[in-house]
Amino acid sequence: MLEPKSEASRLLGLRLRERRLTLGLNQESVALLAGLNVSNYARIDRGHGNPTMYTLIRLAAVLQLQLSELVTGLSVEQLPPVRDPYIAIDFHRTSDERVNRHFQQGQAAGFIP
């Protein structure tokens, strides 16, 4: 059996599954009521999925929970490691450098005074 994507995914799946069972629902029922593909919901329920915010809101509604009840206590430390350390500030910095380089090239060519 696959390991959960992260501790956060595992805990979210556990919370969903416990509530689903408390309400006497199966995975198919929850998925259909939330407008999800059954196999996608099953992955989330087992702690292997990475649901969107919209999906979490739908699941909370179906399971008669507040969204906060699903995510309370989850922390950054429980997330998987970042795959790409390239962050927004790096993108901004790179974009600025590229613009400056083109500006300087335009000046050197006489296109920009």
* pTM confidence score: 0.68
Res 81: pLDDT: 73
Res 53: pLDDT: 95
> Are residues 95 and 72 located together in one domain of the fold?
no
> Are residues 35 and 46 located together in one domain of the fold?
yes
Digitized pLDDT (tens) for each residue of the chain, 113 residues in all? 566 678 889 999 999 999 999 999 999 999 999 999 999 999 999 999 999 999 999 999 999 999 999 999 988 888 777 766 656 666 666 666 776 776 677 777 777 77
First to last CA, the chain: 65
Res 60: pLDDT: 97
The DSSP output letter for 79 is S
CATH code of the domain covering residue 43: 1.10.260.40
> Are residues 71 and 90 located together in one domain of the fold?
no
> Are residues 70 and 103 located together in one domain of the fold?
no
Structure tokens at 9: 């995914």
Q: How far is it, in rounded angstroms, from Cα 108 to Cα 89?
A: 28
Buried b (16+ CB within 10 A) or exposed e, 63-100: bebeeeebeeebeeeeeeeeeeeeeeeeeeeeeeeeee
Q: CA 64, 67, 69 angle in degrees (round to 5)? A: 80
> Are residues 75 and 86 located together in one domain of the fold?
no
Res 74: pLDDT: 83
Res 86: pLDDT: 58
For residue 68, what are the domain limits? 1-79
